[in-house]
A and B are shown apart, each in its own frame.
Chain A
Amino acid sequence: MAQTIIFLILAAIILGCGIMAVTTKRIMRAATYLMFVLFGTAGLYFLMGYTFLGSVQVMVYAGGVVVLYIFALMLTGRQDKKNPTVSLAKKFAALVASLCGAGLFLFAIITHQFAENILTPPSEQTTPVSLLGEQLLSSDKFGYLLPFEIVSILLLACIVGSLIIARKH
């Protein structure tokens, strides 16, 4: 009962702020609404008992990505500049694209057979942090060492690329 109430509140926050983020005219407000959406997602993780994942969500997205967005906006944008008005044809194209996307997602979600009967409901006791750490750094059958290293190479490539772009000849 309590779980359902909290879930409904979080879902309302995520949906409401998501709609506000794309409809608002001011870009800084859009970034703020986006942050509320990300907080709501973190709340869902906490509700499911994935405390580590929830904390990572708050740290990486709310503490890192949104701060980067706001920094970039502060350094580049002017405050009184609002979004330019778009033409009717563009609006129509955007509507078609978003409806197609929504249709695809709904189709995938409705037709997919979720295995919720097989999985045990997660709780704080089932995923200790030490297990996560061992899985992340093990090279066994279900270890995640290779994906972990590949992601770090991707990040390195991003850093090198941005340095080359930023360098003045």
Chain B
Amino acid sequence: MFDFSIVSKWFHDLLTDFIPEWLVIGIECVIVLLFIIVLYAILAIALIYLERKICAFFQCRIGPNRVGKWGLLQVFADVFKMLSKEIIKMRQSDRMLHDMAPFFILTASFLTFSCIPWNKGLEILDFNVGIFFFIAVSGIGVIGILLAGWASHSKYPMIGAMRSGAQLISYELSIGMTMLTMLLLCGTMQLSEIVQQQADYGWNIVRGHVPAVLAFIIYLIAGNAECNRGPFDLPEAESELTAGYHTEYSGMGFGFFYLAEYLNLFICAAMAATIFLGGWAPLYFPGLDGFNTIMSYIPGFVWFFGKAFFVVFLLMWIRWTYPRLRIDQLLSLEWKYLMPISMFNIILMAIVVCFGLTL
């Protein structure tokens, strides 16, 4: 397995020969930041195109096919349209908070994005409480949505923001509980170590069998709700609230919400791939040595993106299959079904780990 930390260490040593270390760290921070932003933009474009094609596939349509070959340039055309739009100013709204709200959501999205381990030795934020930090910073997004709804000074965004706040706070519990369940199995919160364990001893979803599969299903449901995507997209239900909390935004203000929604989908999928499906760890079968050597020649980030996009496909499949829930159904699903099941699941996982029943 290729270890990327060799490359980054070589680069660091090369720079420290010429310039003082604090400046080297500054330069590396800028490079990493550029890497994050570029990857973010590329992934957003890829995901929007994928969503349109998969949505069309589920609705027996063709999807975008006019701009460029197979409609590949459609997303670029949309981005330029959005960039050239006027940003409207409303009377009686709190301009400062209104302009600031999308950046809260982007900040939360960027911070969670940089927790993801892409390859062996290729992590941006990797310290001893990785998963806890991930859950903590994902909470900043709620503030952005609430402020957007408040500062717009309009009924629909306000209702959308209230719904969204209730939904995000409730489903965060299930996400935390499923992650706790998997932490019991791993015994560490550092994301790179979790993936390394899975490369050595097998994927968590196999190792933890029944409770892990249960946790995976709950994570997918709660993750879909955390991303504000259908069947849980009532904060922006078009038929009732025009566009929910971002009704009063135009141009790139709206663009940022749109961007963050798709990237949150990817982050949710990437976390599922990291915690349950082994991250960059290749597929091994015990005993089949020839097969295992071939698999280990495939680089880690290919495995990672393969698994992440597989989960993205699962989430889109759910989105375009089920109808939207009502707000009381949504909350009772979380508090009366998912929460008790995940609490029971933690106990089950504790028993499994305690008696050494893991595979």
Contacts and interface: CB of A to CB of B under 8 A. Distances in A.
Given A29-B97, A67-B169, A74-B150, A129 B137 contact: no
B127 A70 contact: no
B356 interface: no
B142 interface: yes
B65 interface: no
A144 interface: no
A62 B163 CA distance: 20
Contacts of B281: none
Contact of B146 (A1, A55, A56, A70): A70
Interface stretch (B79-87, B128-136, B346-354): B128-136
A55 B190 CA distance: 13
**Interface size of B as a range:** 20 to 34
A90 to B, nearest CB: 26
Nearest to B101: A32
A59 B100 CA distance: 21
B94 A71 contact: no
Contacts, number: 82
Contacts of A59: 132, 135-136, 139
Given A55-B136, A63-B139, A67-B146, A74 B22 contact: no
A70 B136 CA distance: 18
Contact of B128 (A2, A32, A52): A52
B146 A35 contact: no
A44 interface: no
Interface in A32-78: 32, 35, 51-52, 54-56, 58-59, 62-64, 66-67, 70-71, 73-74
A11 interface: no
A80 B133 contact: no
A64 B161 CA distance: 16
Interface in A1-51: 1-2, 5, 26, 28-29, 32, 35, 51
Given A67-B165, A124-B128, A128-B128, A62 B140 contact: yes
A74 B158 contact: yes
B171 to A, nearest CB: 14
Contacts of A113: none
A79 interface: yes
B153 A51 contact: no
Contacts of A79: 92, 94, 150, 153
A70 B127 CA distance: 31
A129 B183 CA distance: 12
Contact of B133 (A2, A28, A51): A51
**Highest count of chain B CB atoms <10 Å: which of A52, A55, A70:** A55
Contacts of A64: 139
Contacts of B150: 28, 70, 73-74, 79
Contact of B22 (A2, A70, A128): A2
Contact of B161 (A2, A63, A66, A74): A74
A28 B147 contact: yes
A32 B26 CA distance: 29
Given A58-B137, A63-B140, A74-B161, A28 B129 contact: no
6 contacts: A28-B94, A28-B150, A55-B132, A63-B140, A74-B146, A74-B162
The 8 closest A-B pairs by CB, nearest first: A63-B139, A59-B136, A2-B22, A1-B22, A58-B136, A55-B133, A55-B136, A51-B127
Interface of B: 20-22, 25-26, 92, 94, 96-97, 100, 127-129, 132-133, 135-137, 139-140, 142-143, 146-147, 149-151, 153, 158, 161-162, 165, 169, 189
Given A54-B133, A55-B129, 18 more contacts: A1-B20, A2-B25, A28-B94, A28-B97, A28-B150, A28-B151, A29-B97, A51-B129, A51-B133, A52-B128, A52-B132, A56-B136, A58-B133, A58-B136, A62-B136, A63-B142, A66-B143, A67-B142
